Chain A
Amino acid sequence: MDWSQVPTLTWESAKLGILPALFGLIISVPLGIVCVRFRWLYGPVLSVTSVLYALPSLALFIVLIPYTGLTDTTVIIPLTLFSLCVLVPNVVDGLRSVPEPVRQAATAMGFGTMRRLARVELPISVPIVIAGLRVAVVSSISLATLGQLIGVSSLGYLLIDGYQRAFLTEILVGGGLIIALALVCDLILVLVRRLLTPWRPRRRRRELPEVVADPVAALAGGTQ
C-alpha cells in the first residue's frame, strides 16, 4: 500500500469537508437573521434548501462540470448548498432560542438591533449553530469522497483504487481515515463550543445528547 499520498489526500478531504461548512455558515448567518426578522421568508427559503438537499450530490457535481470543470470548486459549491439546508434552520432556531425576557431586557437597556444581535442573540445561539456545523462538516467530509468519481481527489481515491485493485486493506484504510477525520473534526467543534460557551450549564451525564437537526425535518415543522 502506498502511504506516501495519504497526507495529501487527507488534507484534500479536510479542505473539501471544512470549506463548504464554512462558506455555508457565512451565508446562513445573515440569511438566518433575515428569516427570523421576516418570518414569511423562512418557509420559501427552507423549501428551496430542502429541494437541493434531496438531490444526489454526484448529480450536482456533474451539473457543474461544464462551468467549473473538474476542480475542487465543483465539489465545494454543491456541498455548500447542502450545508445551508442544515445551517439555516439551526441559525434560525438558535436565534429563536434566545429567551424573550432576555431579548426584551436587552432592548429596554438601550441595545440597538445590530448590537443586540452581535452581543446578545448570536452569542447565545452559538451552541445550536455549532450543532449544525458538526452535521455539515461530517456530511461534507463523507460526501466529498464522491468527487473522486469525477476526478477531484480526496481520501476517496483510496476507496476507488482499492476497488480497482481488489485491495481490501486500501479500502479499509481509506474508509477508516475518512471516518476518523470526520470524528476529529466533530470533536474539535465540540471543544470550540466548550470554549465559546463557558456560561452553559454542564449537562448531567444521564441526559440524552441533543439529536442533531435533520434538514428535511425542518420543512415538516421545526427541527428536533
Chain B
Amino acid sequence: MITFEGVTKRYPGGTLAVDDLNLEVPDGQTMVLVGPSGCGKTTTLRMINRLIDPSSGRILLDGQDIQQSDPPTLRRGIGYVIQQAGLFPHRTIEDNIGTVPLLIGWKKDKARDRARELMRLVGLDDSLARRYPHQLSGGQQQRVGVARALAADPPVLLMDEPFSAVDPIVRATLQDELLRLQAELHKTVVLVTHDVEEAIKVGDQVAIFRPGGRIAQVDSPERLLTAPADSYVESFLGFDRGIRRLSFLAASGLSLDDTAVISASLPAWEAAEQAQRNGEPWLLVTDADQKPRGWVTGDELRSLPREATAGDAQLSPYGHTFGVGTDSLRAALDATLLSPAGRAVGVDDQGRVVGVTSYERLGAAVEAAGPAADPDAAAGAEPAEPATEASPTGTA
C-alpha cells in the first residue's frame, strides 16, 4: 500500500505543485490520478519513485518511509511507464525488456527468457524480440514499455500518461490490455492521465485533482459518476454523466423477451400463428445452435407454402448484438438505438441468443437501477465494471 501523509511540493520559484496531499493507494488495484494540466498529478506520481522529493510530509510504501531507501534501489522495485516509452534505441527489444533484471544481477539467458515471457503477456509476437525500437510502431513500443516495467515483477507500477501519444484506436486496445493484465496480475498501479474517460474505464479508484495540487474527490468511477462531491468534479466529469453511468450497470439486469425468438426448423404457419398470438410484428429466427440468423415478419411467414419452415423465409439482418453476461446497460441501449427495428439481440458468451430487448424493457431496467444517489439499491442489478464477467441475474 502506498500512503501519502501531508505531502507538499513547493518549487524554488514559489509554485505550489502539490498541497498537503493525503492519499491511500490500496494494494492490487488501479488508482488513477486525473486532472487538468498543472494540477500536480504527475508530480505526485513521480514522488512515489523519488524522481521528485517532497518539500514536506512523507510517503510510505508498505509502511516504510521511502526517504529511507536509496533511490536507485527503490526504483528497481517499481515499474515505470511513460508517454513516449523511452525505450533504449541502442538495445534490442528483448534486451530493453530485460533491463531491470540484468541490472539486479540476473544472468543474460534468464533475463531473455523472462523478456519473451513478458512479450507474450503483453501481446507482442516473438519475432520482434531481436528488433530495435525504431522498427516498431508506436503501439508496439508502448507495449514494450509496459513489459519492461513488469520484467522484474515489481509489486508497484507507475504509469505517466502511458497511452496519450498513440492514436485513439490503439489507445482503446492498450487500455483493454491493461485491464486484462490487471485481472491477471493484480499489481498496485498508479496511473496519471488527463483523460477522464480513460480514468473511468481503467481505474478501480479515481482521484480527481484540482489545479493547485489538491484532491477534489477520491472514489470508485461508479460513485464519482453517481455522486460527484461538488460542481468542480461534476464539470470535470463532463456532461452526459447519467448515460455514462449506465456503463456500470450490467446488461444482465435486463429482462429479455424470448417469446419473439423462434427456431429455423419451426414450421412457418406455426410461427405465423405464434406471432399473431403474442402480437409480435417481428420474430427472430435462430439456427440449430441457437445463433441468430435474422428477423422475419408474420406476413412473410404466412406467404410461405404449407411445408415451409421459418428458416426458408426471407430474413432481414439481425442487427447489433450485446453480450448478456459481459456487456453493460449502456451497450444494450446503444445496440437497441442502432437497430432499425428498435430491438437488439442479447447473446451469451457462445453467441447463442438469450432474448431480445425493447425500449420498454430498457426503460424499466434503467428506472429500476434507481436514481443516481445510491447505486447499490438497484434491485438485482449489480454495479459491475464493463468487460468483466457477471452471472446473469433475475429480472429487475
Contact = CB atoms under 8 A, between A and B. Distances in A.
Partners in one complex: yes
Interface of A: 99, 101-112, 115, 120, 123-124, 197-201
A101 B100 contact: no
B110 interface: no
Size band of the B side of the interface? 20 to 34
In the A-B complex, the 5 residue pairs with the closest CB atoms = A105-B86, A101-B86, A110-B76, A108-B80, A110-B75
- Looking at B85, B89, B91, which has the most chain A CB atoms within 10 Å of its CB? B89
A199 B103 contact: no
B100 A199 contact: no
B83 interface: yes
Contact of A101 (B72, B75, B85, B134): B85
A123 B84 CA distance: 20
A108 B134 contact: no
Contact of A110 (B90, B92, B103): B103
A103 B88 CA distance: 9
B103 to A, nearest CB: 6
Given A105-B87, A108-B158, A109-B148, 19 more contacts: A101-B84, A102-B86, A103-B86, A104-B51, A105-B82, A108-B82, A109-B100, A111-B72, A112-B72, A115-B103, A120-B88, A120-B90, A124-B89, A124-B90, A199-B89, A199-B92, A199-B132, A200-B89, A201-B134
Residue among A102, A104, A109 with max Cβ neighbours from chain B (10 Å) = A109
A197 B90 contact: yes
B61 to A, nearest CB: 15
A197 to B, nearest CB: 7
Given A105-B80, A109-B80, A199-B91, A99 B72 contact: no
A125 to B, nearest CB: 10
Nearest to B151: A109
Contacts of A101: 82-86
A104 B85 CA distance: 10
Interface in B80-132: 80, 82-92, 99-100, 103, 132
B25 to A, nearest CB: 18
A99 B76 CA distance: 21
B49 interface: yes
